[in-house]
Amino acid sequence: MDKETFMRRLAEIKTENMVFDFEDGDVSGWQRGANDMNSPSAFEVQDGGFKGSMNSLLIDIENLSGWDTWRKDFSVPQGHNLFCFWAKGDDRTGMVSIECVEDDSSRWIASVRISDKWEKYAIYPEEFKYWKDNQSKGRGGPKDTVKFENVNAISVGLSFTHTAAVGPGRHRLWMDEIGTTQNTLGKLDQHKEMVIDGLCPAYKMFPMTNYASAKVDAGQLFVKDAAIPRVKDPFSSSPRPKGTGFGKKRRMRFIPLVNAYDKNGKRCGYLAWMFVNNFSPLKGSALACLGITQQELLKDKAFAGMIIDLAKKMTDGVYLYEGGSQLPVYYQGESVKLGAQVVNFGQSESQELIARIKVKPRGKEEIAFQKELPVVIADKSISVDCAWEPGKFADRLYDVTTELVRKGQVIDMARQELQVWEPKPLEKRNYMTVKDGDFYLNGKKWYAHGVNYMCSTEIAIEDGEYFEQYLSARSYDPDIAEEDLDRMKEMGMNMVSIFIYHPAHKARNTQDLMMRSEKHGIMVNLSLRPNADPLMFKWKEVKGMIEDMRAAEFDVLFAYDLAWERTWGTYESSYGNAKGRKGYDKEWEKWIIERYGSIENAEKDWEFPIPKKGKAITGPSDHQVREEGEWLKMVSAYRRFVDDFVSKKCTIATRLIKSIDPYHFVSFRMAHSGDPTVAPEAYGYDFRAFRSFELVEPEGYGRIGDWNRVRDGAFTTTYARYTAPGRAVMWAEFGNTSWSGTNFGLAPNVEAGKGKLYDDFYKMIVISYANGSSCWWFPGGFRFGENSDFGIIGPDGSWRPTTEMISKYAPQITTPRPMPEVAKWFVVDRDLTVRGIAGVYEKIKDEYWRLLDAGKLPGLKDEATGTNSLNTPLKAVGNVEYNGTNPPKYLNAEFNYVRIKVGVEPSLPANVLVEGGSWIEVEDGAQIEVAAGAPVQCVASAGNLQSAAWIAPANAKGAKGAVYLSTPKESEIQAKAGIAKDAPYFADADVPEFLLSKGISKETKVVLQMTALDRAWFGEKIEFTLVPK
């Protein structure tokens, strides 16, 4: 029994617990939830239901632009494990979502396909998928399912995330007889659909809608060359890596037998293909398929010949499973490991063969290397290898051919490219730069018009590691990558975002992809996973990745992406912050004591008690960061803490990376950052936290919807220009799924809606003068697990409406353009609202859009913009008076470093600092042994984290407020030194070498902090102890 039949049989079971039949016409108690509550949505009883019942429910959504659902309390009797209902939709509404909410707040959502006729549906627990956006703990694991007995509410409706096939716009659906019953049929487990790559399920196949011709693949020897007859409605399997290279540990070898082409000669799929499997449970098997639907073609000479050839080969069962070089890219002076793996799935237990490996420079006849390796198969598999010692490579591109020879006849083969990489001389490298908020390349402004990339080989695959680590040895196919890059360039794209895991980076596929990208004029944004997240940074692994890949020497690379979709999030665990805000409560307490001197001082300043759980101090609740109240000043201080904490973590990570690679930008994907419409309790980072980055990377998933939803992203850019001056603004991700349940018969309105989203998003980028974007994502087709299709191109390479929009906007987005003068400055103050950026936007939204709609550019500033440390208003955070024990509102600092070295004392051991030795970088809380009585020198650098510029003593002309590094009263040493030059907002200020102490004779506490002399102390403190030796 297949799943479709099983579901039909389930629906035949009588609904025992009828909860809503709508016969009484009552729909009171149902509560609406939507991304746009101003858009009309009807939820009402209508005459007539299924099979002549009196009434039914009508849900009429005028303009779906994100999600629109209705919720009501609901309970399920003990023992009931099926959710039942009748439904139908209009011609644009082929799905409905059913959500169950449990007592622990866990959310479970089923996506149900419906037709335009009344039908009954019965949904079992496994069909409800866990939705992470909730506050439950420990739920959603691999074997977890909804517990019907704990359900306390249901929601019904539509959303882009769970009913993507319906698309935006108006939708009408009807429901009747909602209830529950007991499953008397059993589980589907015993009827599970087989998963065989290259064959089934159906989501692994796609129609070749642009098919024009076909040709037998010249890189295989299993079927003879022949003229392919005309084929109607052909289909293809998703591609997988071929058997090229050596030591790849692949689970299968994919063999194209007959390539299909569109009218432009680009490959659009395969008319015939083969898989050789070497993993359980399919180990020892081979599969060959023809993508034809016309049975009469099986009698055609070409296809009949193919079938005979393939039957002979599969009976023989001896294959070259892989062959070629271990790596796709080599450096000068390296030895090249070459080899072959041969498998025997046939009846002959022992065979003697030869693996012949030849290396030739591309375009030349001479052979650079050749070796014949004896292969004696006494088992099912054997590997043989050799080394090529080229000394210095004479060429930069080689073809490696591996042939499997039996009795003088070549019976199988594999061809592979081998690239040689040498860094350009430093003076000839052309690294991208950022200046005044714009990218520059080759001396001209440059704008990102790109895509997040995973190879087309990753589509419709169940193997999670293979999918996620697409640049690993076993997943990557350079030939497919080359085709993908060619299609990107054809669309007008100029950049690609890629990611690589540790230790898969050692396969050198990242270098191969970057070299190919450079040939296509496509710049690369590289994500380092999973150890680079600034809040969980592992320098040893990150350093190893950068150095192993020699990434600093690639000028086609422009940025490192350190983390994905990080947020500060809700108080409890959430998608972007597994620890939840509560995981940083101790750091919050420490910050309060450092900046206010004590908890008591802070509470007095706020006129509000600090939240506590028992005796433990906590951060503000979700309610307190969402709803205005007497806790405003406390929340303002908390937001400053988050800015400072995250900024420090980012600075530490950035400085370490820049210590080995000063040429490339550093940033990460910032999820809700800058999103003025996200719920405040979801809490995205403020861009103020990213002083150490050259670019900020908001994400556009909060913008899914119509133009009124998309356009709010313009404010994200405006806010970034204000809070992160001089930084480029690049949208790291945006897009939407168009998966309708099948590759065969896509929903035109859904694809059109997805194209309209791209149209609107690019329009928003243009009018807001953002620096570009990288949409999500390249390959079209089914993504297993997520059940989505975010692809910008069809799996056959055909253009979708999204592709058309990418191409349409390419000239407009990538052409250098001046940013106009700001027509009006809005003076804003985050401390006037607990709601963060959402509260700021809500106050000015209408006037902001009147300006943009009129073609004028709005800007943001605060009352300290244009001021400096001599004259900036002396307020404290929360708009209270500065009193010396609270943090100034417009003056703030963090240390890049503080270093010391000491005077001479030759009798001391080597671990004690002595004159002429290296500077030591001081960590907060450190104890440092120094020579007793010897002078201690200090040097430092700090970053300006707030609007007011810092004025150096040399430029202050004796006025109060010149900025110094100094020692506050709690320090047992008193010293100060001025910054070398003025430092505007987000700039660094160096403090030249100065005498910290003439010498110590006892343990001495040192505390350093920045001060606007005789006006205010501000920013981070660093405390350490000098111990005499």
> What one-character-per-residue DSSP string does 835-869 give?
TTHHHHHHHHHHHHHHHHHTT--EEEE-TTTT-BT
Same domain, 266 and 357: no
**Is 650 buried (19+), middle (13-18) or exposed (0-12) by CB count in 10 A?**
buried
Confidence of residue 189 (pLDDT cuts 50, 70, 90): low
Tokens of residue 442, six digits: 């080759």
Q: Indicate if the pLDDT at residue 190 is higher than 60.
A: no
Confidence of residue 206 (pLDDT cuts 50, 70, 90): very high
**Across residues 510-537, what is the average pLDDT?**
97
Cα 674 to Cα 441, 447, 678, 764, 986, distances in angstroms: 26, 20, 9, 14, 18
Q: Indicate if the pLDDT at residue 378 is higher than 80.
A: no
Task: Please check whether residue 453 is in contact with residue 791, taking contact to mean a CB–CB distance below 8 angstroms.
Answer: no
Domain annotation covers residue 601: no
Q: Name which of 336, 334, 330 is nearest 421 in CA terms.
A: 330
The predicted-structure confidence for 650-697, as pLDDT tens digits, reads as follows 999 999 999 999 999 999 999 999 999 998 999 999 999 999 999 999
Can you tell me the distance from the alpha carbon of 685 to that of 516, in angstroms, rounded to the nearest whole number? 35
Residue 632 gets which letter from DSSP? H
Cα 476 to Cα 397, 457, 797, distances in angstroms: 19, 8, 19
Task: Give per-residue burial for 545-566: e unless 16+ CB within 10 Å, then b.
Answer: bbeebebbebbbbbbbbbbbbb
Same domain, 267 and 123: no
Same domain, 127 and 44: yes
H/E stretch holding 163 reads none
Domain end, chosen from 185, 213, 234, is at: 185
Q: Name which of 539, 512, 516 is nearest 528 in CA terms.
A: 539
**Across residues 288-306, what is the average pLDDT?**
93
Preceding peptide of 201 cis, ω within 30°: yes
The predicted-structure confidence for 384-424, as pLDDT tens digits, reads as follows 999 999 999 999 999 999 999 999 999 999 999 999 999 99
Number of structural domains the chain divides into: 4
Of 525 and 186, which is predicted with more confidence?
525
Q: Up-side HSE of residue 567: CA atoms within 13 Å toward CB?
A: 25
Check residue 271 and give its pLDDT.
Answer: 97
**Across residues 938-962, what is the average pLDDT?**
97
Q: Is 72 left (phi over 0), alpha (psi -120 to 50) or beta?
A: beta
Backbone angles phi, psi at 379, to 5 degrees: -130, -165
Q: Quick one: angle between helices 801-814 and 748-768, nearest 10?
A: 10
Within its chain, how far is the Cα of 827 from the centroid?
Answer: 33
**Across residues 477-497, what is the average pLDDT?**
98
Can you tell me the distance from the alpha carbon of 185 to that of 1001, in angstroms, rounded to the nearest whole number? 85
Same domain, 165 and 112: yes
Confidence of residue 913 (pLDDT cuts 50, 70, 90): very low
Q: Indicate if the pLDDT at residue 97 is higher than 90.
A: yes
The predicted-structure confidence for 136-159, as pLDDT tens digits, reads as follows 888 988 889 999 999 999 999 999
Confidence of residue 194 (pLDDT cuts 50, 70, 90): confident
Same domain, 332 and 413: yes
Q: Indicate if the pLDDT at residue 899 is higher than 70.
A: yes
Q: Indicate if the pLDDT at residue 908 is higher than 70.
A: no
Domain annotation covers residue 21: yes
- Strands 728-729 and 616-617, by their bridges, are unpaired
Check residue 377 and give its pLDDT.
Answer: 84
- Residues written for the chain: 1029
Domain annotation covers residue 124: yes
Confidence of residue 596 (pLDDT cuts 50, 70, 90): very high
Q: Is residue 634 helix, strand or coil? A: helix
Backbone angles phi, psi at 551, to 5 degrees: -60, -35
Check residue 825 and give its pLDDT.
Answer: 98
Q: Name which of 536, 537, 561 is nearest 551 in CA terms.
A: 561
Tokens of residue 633, six digits: 């000043």
Q: Indicate if the pLDDT at residue 506 is higher than 90.
A: yes
Amino acid letter at 330? Y
Please, where are the H alpha helices in 282-378? 301-316
Q: Indicate if the pLDDT at residue 24 is higher than 60.
A: yes
Domain annotation covers residue 1011: yes
Backbone angles phi, psi at 824, to 5 degrees: -150, 135
Q: Indicate if the pLDDT at residue 161 is higher than 90.
A: no
Task: Give per-residue burial for 97-129: e unless 16+ CB within 10 Å, then b.
Answer: bbbbbbeeebbbbbbbebeeebebbbbbbebbb
Check residue 1 and give its pLDDT.
Answer: 62
Q: Indicate if the pLDDT at residue 912 is higher than 60.
A: no
Task: Please check whether residue 696 is in contact with residue 727, taking contact to mean a CB–CB distance below 8 angstroms.
Answer: yes
**Across residues 995-1002, what is the average pLDDT?**
95
Q: Indicate if the pLDDT at residue 500 is higher than 80.
A: yes
Same domain, 95 and 33: yes
Q: What percent of the chain has pLDDT over 70?
A: 98
Domain end, chosen from 296, 316, 336, is at: 316
Task: Please check whether residue 368 is in contact with residue 404, taking contact to mean a CB–CB distance below 8 angstroms.
Answer: no
Check residue 134 and give its pLDDT.
Answer: 82
Check residue 903 and give its pLDDT.
Answer: 64
Task: Please check whether residue 667 is in contact with residue 690, taking contact to mean a CB–CB distance below 8 angstroms.
Answer: yes
Domain annotation covers residue 427: no
CATH number of the domain that residue 1013 is part of = 2.60.40
Same domain, 166 and 107: yes
Check residue 192 and give its pLDDT.
Answer: 66
Check residue 915 and give its pLDDT.
Answer: 41
Domain end, chosen from 405, 421, 437, is at: 421
Same domain, 290 and 347: no
Q: Is residue 480 helix, strand or coil? A: helix
Helices (H) and strands (E) in the chain — how many of each? Answer: 16, 52
Same domain, 175 and 234: no
Q: Indicate if the pLDDT at residue 904 is higher than 50.
A: no
Check residue 702 and give its pLDDT.
Answer: 87
Same domain, 35 and 165: yes
Same domain, 355 and 251: no
Describe the chain by its helix, strand, coil percentages, rounded to 5.
25, 35, 45
CATH number of the domain that residue 347 is part of = 2.60.40.10
**Across residues 911-939, what is the average pLDDT?**
80
Same domain, 306 and 333: no
Q: Indicate if the pLDDT at residue 579 is higher than 50.
A: yes
H/E stretch holding 424 reads none
| Averaged pLDDT score across all residues of the chain | 94
Please give the model's pTM, rounded to 2 decimal places: 0.89
Backbone angles phi, psi at 515, to 5 degrees: -65, -40
Range of the domain at 345: 321-421
**Across residues 300-308, what is the average pLDDT?**
93
Domain annotation covers residue 600: no
Domain annotation covers residue 442: no
From the CB of residue 736, how many other CB atoms can be counted at a distance below 10 Å?
26
Preceding peptide of 777 cis, ω within 30°: yes
Domain annotation covers residue 98: yes
Check residue 398 and give its pLDDT.
Answer: 98
Confidence of residue 191 (pLDDT cuts 50, 70, 90): low
Confidence of residue 917 (pLDDT cuts 50, 70, 90): low
